[in-house]
Amino acid sequence: MTALVNLLDLDPAQLTAYCGELGEKPFHAKQLLRWIHQFGAHDFDVMTDLAKSLRDKLAARAFIVPPAVISDHSSSDGTRKWLLDVGQGNAVETVFIPEKNRGTLCISTQAGCAVNCRFCSTGKQGFSRNLSVGAIIGQLWVAESELRKSKGIEPGRRGERQITNVVMMGMGEPLLNYGPTVTALKLMLDDNAYGLSRRRVTLSTSGVVPMIDKLSQDCAVAMAISLHASNDTLRDGLVPLNKKYPLRELMAACKRYLEFAPRDFITFEYCMLDDINDTDVHARELIVLVQGHAGSPAVPCKFNLIPFNPFPESGLKRSKNSRIKTFAQILMDAGIVTTVRKTRGVDIDAACGQLAGEVQDRTRVQERMQKMTEYQQKFGKNFDRIIEVSR
C-alpha cells in the first residue's frame, strides 16, 4: 500500500517529482504550490484549475493538514501567539509581531531544544524531537490562514499577505534540524509558494559552525547569531555549544557565510544579563571580537541587544535600562550599528526566550479534545487519514 503524503512536507522540486510519480506534468506542481501556500487551500476539491482526474488521484494518495491550533492568544500590543500541536504529544509556540510596515512571524524548528542556553526558558524544558517540514512550514501556513481569517478572507481565496518577514528564532536550534529547515526555507522563498526574499527570512543559530558553512551553499538567507558573550569563558557558561565551536571558529564561519548571504552583515543577538555580560569591559571585548586586529579582518555586523525576560529557573536578572543604554553607546561609538530590541508580547509569554510555559502545561484534556473536534470538522477525511499515518 502506497504511503499517504502530506503535501506540506514537499518543497518545489519534491512536489514536481511527486507529480511525475502520479504520471502528471511538472506544471501541476506550480499549481499545487499556489493553491496550498498562496491560497491556503487544504481541500483538493476547491482546486478548480486541476483536472478532476488529478484531484481524484491526490485525494486518494495525499493530504494537506498543518499543525492543529491548541490555543490562540493576543497581546495588548498586537502580538499574537499560537500553541500548535505537532504530534506525538508535542507542541510548539509560534509568534506573530505586527509593525507599521511589516508583519514578522517567529517560528520554531524543534519541540524543545538541546542547546540549553542558560537564559532561555525553552532549553530548560529539554529536547523532545525535530519537527517535520510540514510542522515547520505549517506554522507559516496556519499563521497566514488565521490572520487572513481575521480580515474576512476565506480559505482558497487570494488575499494580501499579512506576513512579510519570517525569523527562525522560536523553539529549537534550526541547524540541528538541518534537512527539514532547509526544505521549509525553499518553500518560503519560492515565488509560487510564499515568495519571500532571502533578505526577509532570517535564521538564528547559536553557532553550529559546520552547518553554517553548509547553509551558505544550500540556501543562504539572512543570518543572526545568538552570541550573548564577549569571550569564550563567559560563553561556555551561557551557551554550552561554544565548548564545541568556540568564538574564533564562529567568527571565521560568519566571514565565510557573508560571501553568499543576501545581506552584507551578520546580526549578533546579545541578551543583556545584569552583572553577567553587561559591563563596559564586555562591550570593549565585543568590539575587538568583531572588528578584529592585525591578521584578523573584521566581521561586518550589527548588534541587537535584547533585554532579558526573567523566568524563575534561570537565576538571572535583566540589565538595568541605564546599563543597556551605556553598553549600546560604547558599541555605537566604535562605529557598530546597535539596536535595543523592543520587548513585545510579554503579557502572553511570547517575548524572546519565553517560549516554553504553555508547552509544558498540556494537561487540559477537555480543552484539547474540543480543539481536536473542531480541527476534525475543518479538515474532514484528511484529518482521519493523517491520524492513521501518525500511528
Whole-number CA gyration radius for the chain: 22
Catalytic residue among 93, 144, 173, 269: 93
- 304: nearest Cα among 266, 330, 353: 266
100's grid cell? 507599521
Helix (H) or strand (E) holding 356: none
352 catalytic? Reply is yes
Provide the H-helix boundaries in 51-132: 52-61, 121-124
Q: CA–CA distance from 375 to each of 142, 306, 353 (Å)? A: 12, 37, 29
Q: CA–CA distance from 40 to each of 144, 156, 157 (Å)? A: 8, 6, 8
Residue 302, CA atoms < 13 Å, CB-side half-sphere = 14
- DSSP code string of 115-181: S--TT-HHHHT-EEEEPPHHHHHHHHHHHHHHHHHHTTPPTTS----S--EEEE-SSS-GGGSHHHH
Cβ neighbours around 370 below 10 Å, total: 11
**How far is C-alpha 388 from the chain's CA centre?**
28
Catalytic residue among 19, 254, 271, 352: 352
Catalytic amino acids? 93, 352
